[in-house]
Structure 1
Amino acid sequence: MGQTSENFSNRLQAIPPLDPDRVSLIENEGLKVKQLEPLGVEIYGADVRSRLPEPVIEALEVEMANRGFIVFKHQTDLSADELINVSKWWGAHEIHSTHGVHPATPGRNRHIFRCSNDSRHGILGVGPQWHNDGSFEAATFSHSAYYMARAPEQGGGTHFAHQGAAFDALPEDKQEFWQRLVSVNSASSVTHPLVHTHPISGRKSVWLHLGMTGAILERLPEDGMSIEELQKAPATADKFRLLKPDEMKGLFNDYNDLLNASFDEGYGIRYQYDTGDLLYIDNWAVAHRASPEAHLPSEQQGLRIMDRVTIKSKRDLAPHFGLPQYINMNGPHPFNKDGVWQAGGVGFRWKDNIRMQN
């Protein structure tokens, strides 16, 4: 989108800096806190094999919600059980696993999703497009862990974009329109709002899966009703319509452009890992994608091994407007017949020259 006008600057709310009181609480445990720009936090001096005090964990969880992610530095040689145990600090304090297990996974632990650029060591080609983990679930994961068991010599990091700041970056007319949209997952039929209010930060945040969406429903506007009133008002099928193919392409490209613009507009970061980095994202606050370098073959880049763990949310990411959490993508729908309604593992193809895989 590349907006640089004064009007854009006035709309974009800054990603909040670290809270001094929370920093003092964390550093009183002998840790060092480093604020990354424009988002993210690095934590030095921790040994996550030992549980931190509950007030410190709570403070870190709030900072994750505000700034997108935290990184515990220098956590080398974590065992599978140690990685699982620290991951239970967040969200509903329970692991929520939905993936297969690669043969090289430590202990064949079903809660660890091992990614690599070498098929002997992990799953190839994971996450090339902007996405949030577990978008096919009603209770999309609250947090995800990315443990860099072995960092490659030539980059191979992850891109992060703050979805609250991304909403602020939208023109007002698109803010209004996007808040009336609900996505339907092409594989699971789960519905999610395109804009939700983050349960901790309170920020309106965009949310769209670019690789597995089979339909977008628009709640039609009504004269004199605000977005908040529309969200709470009872509605029948005639109050909704499906976006048409050209509208879907426009929306998906706008979303992709919005997150791509994050690096220039101050709400995105290209994070490079060191071996032993343990990074946690708030999965409701930031979208992410693997950097292109992450998928280069190990012969060219050096071996990359990352373990992902996903954490159960305390709540569903529920749609507004009285819509159900699931609308069967394999069945008939009561909406306009010229809109997109596409079931399957990939969903609507909004661009033909990219690989749809997340």
Structure 2
Amino acid sequence: MHTQSKIMIRPLTSFLGAEIEGVDASKKITPDILAQLNSTLIEHQLLVLRHQNLSVEQQIAFSRNFGEMEQFSPHPHYLNYPEIFPVSNREEDGYPNVGHYWHHDGSFLETPTSLSLFYFLKAPLQGGDFLFNNMYHAYESLPETLKKQVEGLETIHRNGVVHSLVRKHPITGRKALYINMGLTVGIVGLSHQQSVGIIRDLNRHLNHPEYVYHHKLQVGDLIICDNASVAHFATYADPQYPQLQRRTTVSGTVKF
């Protein structure tokens, strides 16, 4: 019988993230543990569970605790598991060259992805850090002129989906920036030049080192990311240093 009762929480930075101890994601978790994880995720926005050892089935089962799962066209390595989106710096292991820019997963959906869970099976010796940005802070710390510019604006994705550039979090109600630097092609009502200028200024703002949490990957890391309030950026790792993650995502429930 599994007897988990209380998680241990260690903040990763003063502005984002917490490392969680006392949770074995390979086992069924209790309602009390799940409630603690959910409340800690709302407070810290990003959770890191180290030293996990998960089969595909166990990762999917753990992810389902947080809501309905999104599905993808199955990768050849995971034909029976459409919930798995494998990402690697080696094409033979997973999808390469994914997410090397600030973004929120599933921003191209009309009802965007709620949570992203990243499980790392291979971690590179050099490079490949995952960067995370607290988008509440990113919005609140904008220069006043830029903050006034972005209020009420809507971004246009390549597939035509439109989202507010400043969104209210569906649970906390706090305002946060919400942008995908790789898929955004314009801003509603602005010229191409004006759109490019604002997007460039926002990207520069997100790159301020005081706002960015650098996560050095370790094999067995399981990261749970609140997609509504956190943007992430996968840095490059040379294929001679293999990297492989299995990503699962939880469907959103709120259009905005």
TM-score, length of structure 1 as denominator length? 0.67
Q: Deviations over 1:296-338 (max 9, x none)?
A: 11x2xx221100111111222x1xxxxxxxxxxxxxxxxxxxx
**Pick from 9, 13, 21: which aligns with 1:37?**
13
Q: Deviations over 1:172-197 (max 9, x none)?
A: 2322221120112221x222110011
**Which residue number in structure 2 is paired with residue 238 of structure 1?**
none
Give the counterpart letter for 2:145 in structure 1.
Answer: D
- Write 1 or 2 for the structure with the bigger share of strand: 2
Contact 2:94 2:244 in 1 (8 A): yes
**Pick from 232, 246, 252: which aligns with 1:307?**
246
What is the percent sequence identity of the aligned residues? 31
Note closer, same or farther for the CA distance 1:214–1:303 as it changes in structure 2 (3 Å cut): closer
C-alpha distance in structure 2 between counterparts of 1:134 and 1:196, whole Å: 15
Give the counterpart letter for 1:42 in structure 2.
Answer: E
1:51 aligns with 2:54: no
**Which residue number in structure 1 is paired with residue 203 of structure 2?**
256
TM-score, length of structure 2 as denominator length? 0.92
**Which residue number in structure 1 is paired with residue 103 of structure 2?**
131
1:153 aligns with 2:125: yes
Contact 1:149 1:305 in 2 (8 A): yes
**Pick from 256, 278, 300: which aligns with 2:222?**
278
1:158-173 aligned within 5 A: 158-173=130-145
C-alpha distance in structure 2 between counterparts of 1:55 and 1:284, whole Å: 24
C-alpha distance in structure 1 between counterparts of 2:32 and 2:156, whole Å: 38
**Which residue number in structure 2 is paired with residue 103 of structure 1?**
76
Q: Structure 1: which 5+ runs fail to align?
A: 1-27, 218-241, 319-358
Deviation of residue 203 (structure 1)?
A: 1.6
TM-align CA RMSD: 1.7
Deviates more, 1:118-127 or 1:280-289: 118-127
Contact 1:186 1:213 in 2 (8 A): yes
Contact 2:6 2:33 in 1 (8 A): no
Contact 1:112 1:308 in 2 (8 A): yes
Give the counterpart letter for 2:70 in structure 1.
Answer: H
**Pick from 57, 81, 86: which aligns with 2:57?**
81
Structure 1 segments of 4+ aligned residues over 4 angstroms from their partners: none
User: How many positions carry a matched residue from both structures?
Assistant: 252
1:292 aligns with 2:233: no
C-alpha distance in structure 2 between counterparts of 1:128 and 1:268, whole Å: 15
Contact 2:27 2:58 in 1 (8 A): no
Q: Deviations over 1:54-99 (max 9, x none)?
A: 24323322332332210111112x1111111111122xx11012x3
Deviation of residue 108 (structure 1)?
A: 4.1
